[in-house]
Structure 1
Amino acid sequence: MQLDKATGAKCFTFSASALHITQANDAHAPLIRVGSVPGYSKRGKRFSQAADIGHVNILEICAKIRRNMLSQNTTYVAYMVFKLGPRFYSFDFPFQEASFGVAGRQSTRQVCLQGYVEDGDGADVPPRKHIVPSSYSIYNHDEVPPQKNVVFPRKKAGGWMEVELGEFHNEGGDGEVSISLTETTKPKSGLIVWGIVIVRSTPSVSNYLS
């Protein structure tokens, strides 16, 4: 747990070892050493490791936290910090589903891990979304469906990316918040996950992440 530098709101980071990641035989994805991740001020052995997700048919990444571990009457946003491995494929389409469960209510959105978004050159230019081609051409799609409502990651330093999984308002209480990212329709491989960060929702989260 950390505190937002500007507001004092509680923030939380799930390391890769603290996430529930579905693998064959229910084994946790193997951890690899990645050292420090630029832009994320966390220390300790578990934060110098990432989950290396190889070939899977079902991808499920889950995290849960008690609502009383976060600040009351505060809106939070969750990000997954990850990168694509050198031999990744099939994280473009079908899109992945990110979901939030809070007090019996669930919200979902689609995300595309095999891509990134960059801001336009001016205020009137909309952000541009890009699909990253796999080194395996047989897994690339000539056409990807329209992406207006699909959330794309933003590039960070060191080849890492950050994708917004969703936003929720914490009213307090003893309930649980569940966060997940899933895709269960086709084989995929080459995802390296550092963790999931829950921070107070602001126009910029750099107070916590830098």
Structure 2
Amino acid sequence: MSNIDTLPEDCVSSILSFTSPADASRFCLVSSSLRSPALSDLLWLSFLPDDYNHIVSRALAPLLFSSKRDLFHALSHPILIDGGSKCFQLDKSSAKKSYILSATELSLTRGNDPMAWSWILMPESRFSVVARLRTLSSLEIKCKIRTGILTPNTWYGAYLIVKVFQGAYGLDSAASEVFVEVGGVVKKGEAYLCEKDERKQKTEALFYGNRREMLERSSAVTKEDRKYPSRRPDGWTEIELGEFYSGEEDQEVKMSLREVGYQLKAGLVVEGIQLRPKHA
């Protein structure tokens, strides 16, 4: 530690910039001589994205901060941007970007038809409205973004955020097709919109087991590639649509979920699609 003590503060800050935000916070506790460079604007500026000023200007509510470290910690909590249609957050450990696009930013089959969808308020949602499926026989949810808004050279996952209302029907009859496309390269998979209850599974296995087995054999997607809903810490459920690499060039990313069972369905609530870094 004595060798570092002899270096200029800005030099120490530059060295610490090769670590992570989490490490930089710990350095404040390791040594009094590291505290000042570990709190410096020079260091925390290196953890902020290049377009942080643009992101701050798009915040729905003004962000209050007195230093770059304060700003980083403000951005490491979810903030609404673009009039409340998107949610932005920096990962506290890696400083990588994530976004949630609200349902208003997505393309929904017959999304403007009040007989198919209703736009409702839900206190547990981060957005002002969510989309509730009233009734449809064929469902497709899709969106597109540019990789330029994301952290470069990073693997991202795309996740559809939903809830299933009590009394919902037609959502678990068949797996939906999911895909992510970047630069003309398409990755396909299958996903279920909700879990079946055990009693229903046994009944369908008894009456439709052979037919389902034939469908699964004809599908190009293996069981390992099928996605199942998982519970999120915020109380919602997410379905992985796929993953992609952001790279360095700005490219268009298309994401989609398409339910191909053509069975009347209702009761699905769509909050949005999240794009977040995948951690090893």
> Letter of the aligned partner of 2:243 in structure 1?
E
> Letter of the aligned partner of 1:22 in structure 2?
T
> Letter of the aligned partner of 1:34 in structure 2?
M
Query: 2:111 & 2:275 partners in 1: Cα distance?
Result: 28
Query: 2:112 & 2:270 partners in 1: Cα distance?
Result: 20
Corresponding residue of 2:275: 198
CA 1:25 to 1:11, structure 2 compared with 1: closer, same or farther past 3 Å? closer
* TM-score for the superposition, normalised by structure 1: 0.74
Query: How much is the aligned-residue C-alpha RMSD, in angstroms?
Result: 2.5
What is the aligned length?
Answer: 176
Q: Which moved more, 1:143-152 or 1:176-185?
A: 143-152
Task: Kindly indicate which of the two structures has a greater share of residues assigned to helix.
Answer: 2
1:72-114: per-residue Cα shift (whole Å, max 9, x none)? 1010011111111222122223210111010111111100112
2:255 to 179, 189, 198: 179
1:127-149: per-residue Cα shift (whole Å, max 9, x none)? xxxx2379xx7xx7334657544
1:90 to 165, 170, 185: 170
For residue 185 of structure 1, report the CA deviation from its aligned partner: 3.3
Question: Is residue 77 of structure 1 aligned with residue 154 of structure 2?
Answer: no
Query: 2:97 & 2:124 partners in 1: Cα distance?
Result: 22
Question: Is residue 61 of structure 1 aligned with residue 141 of structure 2?
Answer: yes
Task: Kindly indicate which of the two structures has a greater share of residues assigned to strand.
Answer: 1
Corresponding residue of 2:226: 150
1:21-77: per-residue Cα shift (whole Å, max 9, x none)? 11277678321111134xxxx5xxxx1421101211221111111111111101001
1:175-202: per-residue Cα shift (whole Å, max 9, x none)? 2101111113312221101111100001
Corresponding residue of 2:122: 34
For residue 159 of structure 1, report the CA deviation from its aligned partner: 5.6
Corresponding residue of 1:16: 103
Query: 1:24 & 1:200 partners in 2: Cα distance?
Result: 29
1:6 to 75, 93, 109: 93
1:100 to 180, 197, 219: 180
Give the number of the structure whose alpha-carbon radius of gyration is greater. Answer: 2
Work out whether residues 173 and 261 of structure 2, in 8 Å CA contact, stay in contact via their aligned partners in 1: no
Query: 2:261 & 2:112 partners in 1: Cα distance?
Result: 18
* TM-score for the superposition, normalised by structure 2: 0.56
Unaligned runs of 5+ in 1: 116-130, 204-210
Query: Larger relative CO (CA 8 A, sep 6+): 1 or 2?
Result: 1
Unaligned runs of 5+ in 2: 1-87, 217-222
Work out whether residues 31 and 51 of structure 1, in 8 Å CA contact, stay in contact via their aligned partners in 2: yes
Work out whether residues 22 and 29 of structure 1, in 8 Å CA contact, stay in contact via their aligned partners in 2: no
Q: Which moved more, 1:150-159 or 1:52-61?
A: 150-159
Work out whether residues 154 and 163 of structure 1, in 8 Å CA contact, stay in contact via their aligned partners in 2: yes
